[in-house]
Chains A and B, each alone.
Chain A
Amino acid sequence: MSLPRTHGSGARRARHVLLSDGETATRRELVVRYLLLLVVILISIGPFLWQLATSLKSIGEDLYSMPPSFWPEEFTLSAYSQVTEVIPVWSYVGNSVFVAVCNVSLSLIGCALAGYALARLEFRGKLLGIGVFVATLLIPQESSMIALTQLVNGMGLGNTLVAVFLPTMMSAISVLLMWNAFLALPKEVDEAAIVDGANTWQRFLRLGLPSVKGTLAVVALLAFMGSWNDFLWPLLILSDPDKYTLTVGLNYLQGTFADNPRVVAAGTIIAVAPLVVLFLALQRVFFRGVAEGGVKE
C-alpha cells in the first residue's frame, strides 16, 4: 500500500495494473486490497451462509459439535417442510407482499402528486404545506405510536393489514425527494405546454412523471424496504397470528421453536432469499439511484 506510485520509467510501469477507471495500482497493493476485501466479505455474508448451512442440516446431526462444522453431513430440506407445517410461512409472505405493494403504490402516488404541486405550481399556503411535511420529519414514529394505536383501533382497523400500511405509507422524506426532482425540470417546458393548452393533470402525467423516473424508483425502493422490514408497528397492531407479516411471524417462530435452530434458520432463509434475489436483479438500478437522488449533498 505504501509503495510510491511513480509513472515515470517504463520498467516501473510494468509493475502497475491499469484499472477500468483510469487509475493504476501496484501488484502488491492489489494483493493487500483483495485480502482485506476477502475478510470484509466473510464478515458481511458469512453469518447468512452459516444460517443457510444450519437450515440444511438433518435432525440427526449434532449442531453443537466441537469444533463447529460448516458443511452439513447430509443435505436435507426437512427443516423447510417442517417450518411450513408449523407456521403458515407462505401466508406470512403473502401478507408482507400485500402490505408492501399497497405501501409502495400509495407512497408513489401521494408523494409524486404532492412533490409536483410544491415544485411546479404557485399557490397561497404553500409554505404551510411545506411546514407540515417538515414538522413530521421532527417527530420520531416511535414517540406517537401508542396514540396512533388508539386512533387506528378507534377507526375499527385494529388487527387488520390495512392498519399496517395505511399510517406508514407517507414519508416526508419522499415528498421532499420528489419536490427536489420536479424542480429540475426547466420552467420553459411548462410554459410551452400551458401555451399549447395542456392542463395541470396532463402536464403532470406527460412532462413531470417521465422526467423523474430515477427518483420514483428510489421512493419505491425506500417504501418497499421500509414496509418489508418493519417490525415494531405490525407487532403493535396485529394480534391474530393469521394476519402476521413475515417479520412478526419470524419472531413468533423463534418464540415457539427456540429449541430447534434448524427450523428457525429455515424460516429466516425463506424470509431473506426473495429479497436477496430481487436486490441482485436490481442492484445496478439501485446503486445508480442511491448515487443520484438519495444522498445529494
Chain B
Amino acid sequence: MSTTALSAQETPRTSSAPARRTKPVRVRTHAPLTPWLLMAPALLSAIVFVLFPFLNTVVLSFTDARPLVGGSFNGLQNYRDLLADPMFWIALRNCLIYVVGAVPPLVILPLLLAMLVRKSVPGIGAIRTAIYTPVIASVVVTGLIWTWILDSRGLVNSMAQWLGVISAPIPFLTDEFLLLFSSILVTVWQGLGYYMVVYLAVLANVPRSLHEAAMMDGAGPVRRFFTVTLPAMRSTMLLIGVISSLAAFRVFSEIFVLSGGTGGPGGRSSSLVMLIREAGTGLSGRLGYSSAVSIVLFLLTLALMVVNLRLTYRKES
C-alpha cells in the first residue's frame, strides 16, 4: 500500500532483442498512518461539525426535544405539525418566489455584463473592479445600504415623489411581497459581479476562430451571440442556475436585514431558514419542529442537485 513502483529508465534496444523490463523496485514512500494524520484536521472537522450535527438533526426531527430537556420520540408528529402549519407553507412559498425571481436574472444579466466588459478597452480593469465591489461587501452591509435607499422616505421614494411618478411612498420594506422583491433585488445586484467573473473565465475559452468564421458567413453581433456564444455558455449557465437556486432556497440575511429582523408584516415574508432559526432558538425553542423544517430544506436542495445531475448527463449524451 505505502509503496510505489519506481522503474529504471529503459535502455533502447534493437527490435530483435526481447524487450526485457527492469524489475520495478518497491520503495516505502510513507508510514501507514501518515495519510490519516494529514487528513485528520479536515476529516475530524467534517465529521464532528457537519456530519454528526446533521445526523443529530435527523434524530431530533422525530423527537419533541427542547433546549436542556432531552425529549422523547414522537414519531412523525413534527412532520404532521409542519404540514398543518401555515407559516411553513408561507416560508416554502417565499423560497419558491425567491428562486423564480432571482435565478433567471442571475443567469442572464451577468452573461450580458461579461460580454460588455470582455473587450480590453482602455480602463476596463478599473471598470471590472468597480462592478465587482458589491460582491466583497457582506449582505448585512448591502442590506443596510438598500434599506436606506428603499425606505419609505429614502432615495427611490423621494425621487419618484419629486418627479410626480407616485403620490404616496411605495412600501418596499413593509409589504409582504414588495419586501421579497426588494430582497431579490439586493441578491441580484450583489451577485452580478460574481457570476460575471465566472462567465468571463469561460468566455475566454471560446475560440476566437468560431466568431471569425461566423463573421465571414455574415452573421451580425446578435446572430453571433445566439449561434456561437450561447451554445458555448450553456453548461455554465446551467451551473450558475443550479448554484443560484441552491442559494435562493437558503436565503436568510437579505430578508432578515431588510425587514429589520422581523420577517415582514406578521413574519409573512420569512424564508425556510428564518423559520428554522425562529423555531429552534431561545429557551423554549422547539428543536424537534425546527429540525423537521431543516430536513425539508435538505431534501429540497438534494432534489435540486439530483435534477441538475440528470440534466447535465442527458445533455452530454
* B215 lies within 8 A of chain A by Cβ: yes
Interface stretch among A8-16, A33-41, A71-79? Answer: A33-41
Please, how many angstroms separate the alpha-carbon atoms of A250 and B260 in the complex?
A: 11
Instruction: Find chain A residues with CB under 8 A from B120 CB.
Output: 19-21, 23
* A138 lies within 8 A of chain B by Cβ: yes
Q: Are B290 and A116 in contact (CB under 8 A)?
A: no
Known: A68-B155, A275-B137. A265 touches B35 (CB 8 A): no
Known: A146-B294, A175-B42. A140 touches B141 (CB 8 A): no
- Residue of A at shortest CB range from B46? A136
Mask, B236-255, CB within 8 Å of A = 1, is: 10000000001001101100
Mask, B94-113, CB within 8 Å of A = 1, is: 00000000000000000001
Please, how many angstroms separate the alpha-carbon atoms of A21 and B200 in the complex?
A: 15
Please, how many angstroms separate the alpha-carbon atoms of A169 and B189 in the complex?
A: 28
Please, how many angstroms separate the alpha-carbon atoms of A138 and B116 in the complex?
A: 35
- Residue of A at shortest CB range from B298? A143
- Residue of B at shortest CB range from A275? B136
Q: In the complex, how many angstroms separate the beta carbon of A104 from the nearest chain B beta carbon? A: 14
Q: For residues 160 through 203 of chain B, which have their beta carbon under 8 Å from a beta carbon of chain A?
A: 161-162, 189, 192-193, 197-198, 200-202
Q: For residues 155 through 213 of chain A, which have their beta carbon under 8 Å from a beta carbon of chain B?
A: 166-170, 172, 175, 190-191, 194-195, 199-200, 204
Known: A44-B133, A68-B158. A251 touches B261 (CB 8 A): yes
Q: In the complex, how many angstroms separate the beta carbon of A131 from the nearest chain B beta carbon? A: 10
Q: Are A254 and B257 in contact (CB under 8 A)?
A: yes
Known: A231-B139, A275-B137. A133 touches B116 (CB 8 A): no
* A127 lies within 8 A of chain B by Cβ: no
Q: How many residues of A contact B (CB 8 A)?
A: 111
Instruction: Find chain A residues with CB under 8 A from B139 CB.
Output: 229, 231
28 intermolecular pairs with C-beta atoms under 8 Å apart: A1-B221, A37-B127, A41-B131, A47-B146, A47-B149, A50-B155, A51-B145, A66-B161, A67-B159, A68-B155, A111-B42, A133-B43, A136-B46, A136-B51, A139-B51, A141-B250, A145-B53, A146-B281, A146-B285, A169-B45, A172-B46, A191-B6, A194-B4, A231-B140, A250-B144, A268-B141, A275-B137, A283-B129
Q: Which residues of A contact B (CB under 8 A)?
A: 1-2, 4-5, 19-21, 23, 25, 30, 33-34, 36-37, 40-41, 43-45, 47-48, 50-51, 54, 63-68, 106, 109-111, 113-114, 116-118, 121-126, 129, 132-133, 135-136, 138-151, 166-170, 172, 175, 190-191, 194-195, 199-200, 204, 225, 228-232, 236, 246-248, 250-251, 254-255, 258, 261, 264-265, 267-268, 271-272, 275-276, 279-280, 283, 287, 290-291, 294-295, 297
Closest 10 pairs between A and B when the two form their complex, measured CB to CB? A229-B138, A146-B280, A114-B42, A170-B45, A117-B38, A167-B49, A110-B41, A147-B53, A147-B56, A143-B294
Q: Which residues of B contact A (CB under 8 A)?
A: 1-2, 4, 6, 27, 29-32, 34-36, 38-39, 41-43, 45-54, 56-57, 60, 67, 113, 116-117, 119-122, 125, 127-134, 136-142, 144-149, 151, 153, 155, 158-159, 161-162, 189, 192-193, 197-198, 200-202, 204-205, 215, 220-222, 235-236, 246, 249-250, 252-253, 256-257, 260-261, 273, 276-277, 280-281, 285, 287, 290-291, 294-295, 297-298, 301-302, 305
